[in-house]
Amino acid sequence: MNVAWYMARRLYGEKGSVRRASRSAIAIATAGVALGIAVMVIAVSVVLGFKREVQDKVTGIGSHVQILNYQSLYTAEYQPLAVGPNIMRAIRRMPEVDHAQRFCQKMGMLKTEDGFQGVAFRGIDEDYDLAFLRSCLTDGEIDTPFSKSKQSGRLMLSKTIADQLHLSVGDKVYAYFFDERLRARRFTVSAIYATHISEYDSRLVFCDYRTVHQLLGYEDNQSSGAEVVVHSMDELPAVSSRISELLAGRQDPYGAYFTAPTIRETFPHIFAWLDLLDLNVVVILLLMVAVAGFTTISGLLIIILERTQFIGIMKALGATNSSLRHLFLYWAVFIVGRGMLIGNVLGLVLCWLQNQFHLVRLDAATYYVNFVPVLVEWPWVVVVNIATFIIAVFALLLPSLVVSNIHPARSIRFE
């Protein structure tokens, strides 16, 4: 039987004989650990949720990888590219790829009686994955897919553009395209979306693939490029490398070279900002571990000083310094364990409340989302708890050494 463990459990559980200072020290130490764990769980969950939400929005329209004409990297508009069926099949067969689709895009202008707005018309067809756009709809609906073979005259635009031009679902709007000659098309607003990503909401509208393809004057096998969506951002480097190998040195039938920029290369400022959040979380974790450690160390020192007479008696009865250090370390472990339990419950409950009711709101124009997103990933929660427990126990080794300096003869008379 582990005598130190047994005595620590009995001492921790006693109520009436515990002095006021000890009770306060234990309460403060427990609260410090609980607060630290709760803040750490919330901080990690918020950053994970925030990164997932922003990444999903950026890749929802921009995709993870774009296959483009190399010249498109240096021009204001996309240049034509013939992405053959063999290339599309090879990409779709990659196990990490969730979806691959072609698109056409052309710059133009929307004009109403109230004003005008330069926008990019993106032509999409039946193969385009509309799941993300449907999740962002604020008005109207996408009841049928956009067409590759015919023109329906439907137009889906962002709430930002709709508000600027005072448009709503069902309204007619004229679009103008400037090439060698002025061309006009009339559209009917069928849906309005809002991603809160200004790079999209301020300039991108969606219509039939056929409409944009004709305006561009491309050949049947040409488009502005293709988009590749992978299962998760973790798989992006591997997929990007394999697509680059597939396209290396290739030319389409018209002599255009292929390139495949990733979403990180397209929006480096957004992902640099998201990566910076990781540093902020590290700082928060270190501060909270320090708070939990200092409060527990202070509490243990107070408990040892108040138990000086008890330590002297135990030494007089033959207890060794090692066994007494273990006794107080076990006692401190009980405090840390209880604080961690309370902190986990508190942190997870607050995360659940935020996830369900969106209690804390944000300015979507600044943060890309209108509430604080939360994502609880249990492996991260376990890592935070294990790391905190190990650091706290090692930090407690130093104050436990005070036991070795207590002399039995003097401590028995200690009051």
pLDDT tens for each residue of 303-312: 887 777 777 8
Count CB-CB contacts under 10 A for residue 181: 6
Strands 172-178 vs 182-193: parallel, antiparallel or unpaired = antiparallel
Task: Please report, as a single letter, which amino acid is at residue 355.
Answer: N
Lowest mean pLDDT among 36-40, 94-98, 305-309: 305-309
Kindly state the helix (H) or strand (E) to which residue 157 belongs, with its residue range.
strand 154-158
Residue 208's pLDDT is 95
Q: For the whole model, what pTM was predicted? A: 0.86
Q: What is the mean pLDDT of the chain?
A: 89
pLDDT above 90 (res 78)? yes
Distance of CA 177 to the CA centre of its chain: 39
Lookup: tokens for 313: 């008696």
Residue whose entry in the numeric block shows the structure tokens 């926008």:
119
Spatial distance between the Cα atoms of 48 and 378, rounded to a whole number of angstroms: 12
Mean pLDDT across the stretch 226-240? 95
Residue whose entry in the numeric block shows the structure tokens 């005008």:
116
3-state secondary structure of 17: coil
To the nearest 10°, report the CA torsion of 63, 69, 73, 75.
-120
Question: What sign has the CA pseudo-torsion 280, 285, 291, 293?
Answer: negative
With bands split at pLDDT 50, 70 and 90, how would you rate the model's confidence at 409?
Answer: low
- Does residue 19 or residue 388 have the better pLDDT? 388
Mean pLDDT across the stretch 285-309? 84
Residue 10's pLDDT is 73
With bands split at pLDDT 50, 70 and 90, how would you rate the model's confidence at 323?
Answer: confident
Q: What are phi and psi of 51, to 5 degrees?
A: -65, -40
CA distances (Å), origin 28, targets 20, 103, 298: 12, 61, 9
Residue 27's pLDDT is 87
Mean pLDDT across the stretch 289-295? 85
With bands split at pLDDT 50, 70 and 90, how would you rate the model's confidence at 331?
Answer: confident
Q: Which range has the top average pLDDT, 12-16, 173-177, 302-306?
A: 173-177
Domain ranges of the chain: 3-57+270-412, 65-261
